[in-house]
Amino acid sequence: METMYGDKDRKEFDSMPDMMERIEEAAREAGGIIRSAHGVDLQVENKEGRANFVTRYDRMVQDFLTKRLREILPEAKFLGEENGMDTFQPGDEDGWLFVIDPIDGTTNFIHNMHPFVTSIGLMKDGVPYAGVVYAPVTDQMFSAVRGQGAYENGQRIHSSKAPLSESIMLSGSAGFSMEAFAVAQELTRQVQERCHGVRSTGSAEYNLCMTASGRAGGYYEMRLGLWDFCAGGLILEEAGGRITDYYGRPLSWRGPSGIVALSEGIAREAAKGMPDTGSFYDRWKRLGQQQV
Binder of residue 115, out of ligand 2AM, Ca ion, none (CB less than 5 to 8 A by kind): none
49: number of Cβ within 10 Å: 10
Q: If binding is defined by CB under 6 A, does position 157 make contact with ligand 2AM? A: no
Type of residue found at 292? V
Measured distance CA(84)–CA(70) in Å, rounded: 17
DSSP state of 249: P
Instruction: Give 129-142 as a DSSP string.
Output: EEEEEEETTTTEEE
Nearest to 105, CA basis, from 175, 184, 188, 39? 175
Which of 55, 62, 106, 263 touches ligand 2AM by CB under 6 A?
Answer: 106
Q: If binding is defined by CB under 6 A, does position 228 make contact with ligand 2AM? A: yes
Q: If binding is defined by CB under 6 A, does position 218 make contact with ligand 2AM? A: no
Q: How far is CA 275 from CA 51, 266, 272, 278, in A?
A: 37, 11, 9, 7
Residue with smaller CB distance to ligand 2AM, 234 or 274: 234
Q: If binding is defined by CB under 6 A, does position 136 make contact with ligand 2AM? A: no
x/- map, 35-74, ligand 2AM, by CB under 6 A: --------------x--x----------------------
CB of 259 to Ca ion, least distance (A): 16
Q: If binding is defined by CB under 6 A, does position 203 make contact with ligand 2AM? A: yes
Q: Are 262 and 211 in contact (CB under 8 A)?
A: yes
Binder of residue 225, out of Ca ion, ligand 2AM, none (CB less than 5 to 8 A by kind): ligand 2AM
Which of 82, 221, 238, 269 touches ligand 2AM by CB under 6 A?
Answer: 221
Q: If binding is defined by CB under 6 A, does position 225 make contact with ligand 2AM? A: yes
Binder of residue 152, out of Ca ion, ligand 2AM, none (CB less than 5 to 8 A by kind): none
Collect all residues with Cβ–Cβ distance below 8 Å to 106 and sequence separation of at least 6: 53, 54, 55, 58, 116
Measured distance CA(270)–CA(154) in Å, rounded: 30
Q: If binding is defined by CB under 6 A, does position 82 make contact with ligand 2AM? A: no
Measured distance CA(163)–CA(194) in Å, rounded: 10
Count, residues near ligand 2AM per rule CB under 6 A: 20
Residue with smaller CB distance to ligand 2AM, 95 or 256: 256
Q: If binding is defined by CB under 6 A, does position 176 make contact with ligand 2AM? A: yes
Q: What angle do CA 109, 235, 174 make, to 5 degrees?
A: 35
Residue with smaller CB distance to Ca ion, 195 or 224: 224
Q: If binding is defined by CB under 6 A, does position 241 make contact with ligand 2AM? A: no
Q: Are 102 and 133 in contact (CB under 8 A)?
A: no
**Contact residues for Ca ion, defined by CB under 5 A:** 81, 101, 103-104, 106
Which residues partner with 218 through β-bridges? 169, 262
Give the binding site for ligand 2AM (CB under 6 A): 49, 52, 81, 101, 104-107, 172-174, 176, 202-204, 221, 223-225, 228
